[in-house]
């Protein structure tokens, strides 16, 4: 019995010695990586508010900084996104979104804005020719991975007509358990990014 205990102890010590050390980023600054960034959205249908998600494949950000603080990396940075690059993994739905929603917005659904350093961090978002300041919540998934979340009320961007038009086209698809066809004006947006570490010696 003692023999097996000794063998197990030796095996454990050998594997423990080869365990990959955790990266220390305490002496690092961080910068934005466009290739490691993705913009996701979730819209809602039915009275019970069921989410439908997708991406905007065309998204760009300029003017970011290299910093140790996540807020300072993005403060003052400007961004743009193209509604016509919508991708919900459903080509038929994407076609309807482009033709009946984004095409009915100013500039065919092009979105622009900038990050504002504030408490909390905010964005000044321009959609359908209307500008709104919206707070942003930042969540850290790992030392390098972050998600910025913000919620839009399309009514505040004078987009009621586009929402109504899309719901008319998708009337049957938006009927919930109560028999009512409903498309909410609420859209949740998430920007997922992995930062690049720049570490000293």
Q: How far is CA 158 from CA 75, 76, 96, 124, 167, in A?
A: 27, 26, 20, 16, 16
CATH number for the domain harbouring residue 145: 2.40.128.110
DSSP 20: P
Domain membership of residue 17 (yes or no) is no
pLDDT score for 200: 73
The CA-to-CA distance between both ends of the chain, in Å, stands at: 49
Number of other residues whose CB lies within 10 A of the CB of residue 4: 8
pLDDT tens by residue, 21-43: 578 888 899 999 999 999 999 99
Number of other residues whose CB lies within 10 A of the CB of residue 42: 14
Domain membership of residue 5 (yes or no) is no
Domain membership of residue 101 (yes or no) is yes
Query: In which domain, by residue range, is 136 found?
Result: 26-199
What dihedral angle (degrees, nearest 10) is formed by the CA atoms of 68, 72, 73, 77? Answer: -170
- CA-CA distance, 17 to 27, in Å (whole number)? 25
144 has pLDDT over 70? yes
pLDDT score for 115: 96
pLDDT tens by residue, 51-105: 999 999 999 999 999 999 999 999 999 999 999 999 999 999 999 999 999 999 9
If you average pLDDT over residues 169-181, what whole number do you get?
97
Q: How far is CA 19 from CA 15, 25, 46, 86, 103, in A?
A: 6, 18, 50, 43, 54
Domain membership of residue 1 (yes or no) is no
CA atoms within 13 A on the CB side of 104: 17
- CA-CA distance, 156 to 186, in Å (whole number)? 10
Domain membership of residue 3 (yes or no) is no
Domain membership of residue 154 (yes or no) is yes
pTM given for the model = 0.86
Domain membership of residue 181 (yes or no) is yes
Domain membership of residue 40 (yes or no) is yes
Look at the chain and report how many structural domains it folds into: 1
């Amino acid at each position: 019995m003692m023999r097996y205990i000794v063998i197990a102890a030796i095996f454990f010590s050998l594997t423990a010695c080869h365990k990959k050390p955790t990266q220390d980023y305490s002496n690092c600054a961080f910068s934005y990586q466009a290739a490691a960034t993705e913009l996701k959205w979730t819209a809602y249908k039915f009275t019970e508010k069921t989410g439908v998600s997708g991406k905007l494949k065309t998204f760009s950000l300029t003017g970011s900084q290299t910093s140790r603080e996540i807020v300072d990396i993005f403060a003052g940075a400007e961004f743009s996104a193209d509604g016509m690059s919508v991708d919900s993994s459903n080509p038929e739905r994407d076609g309807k979104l482009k033709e009946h929603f984004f095409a009915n917005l100013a500039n065919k659904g092009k979105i622009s804005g900038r990050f504002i350093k504030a408490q909390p961090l905010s964005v000044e978002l321009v959609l359908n020719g209307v500008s709104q300041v919206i707070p942003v919540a930042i969540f850290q998934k790992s030392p390098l991975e972050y998600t910025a979340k913000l919620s839009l009320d399309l009514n505040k961007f004078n987009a009621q007509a586009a929402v109504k038009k899309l719901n008319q086209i998708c009337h049957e698809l938006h009927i919930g358990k109560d028999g009512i066809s409903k498309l909410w004006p609420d859209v949740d947006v998430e920007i997922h990014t992995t930062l690049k570490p720049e570490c000293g010696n």
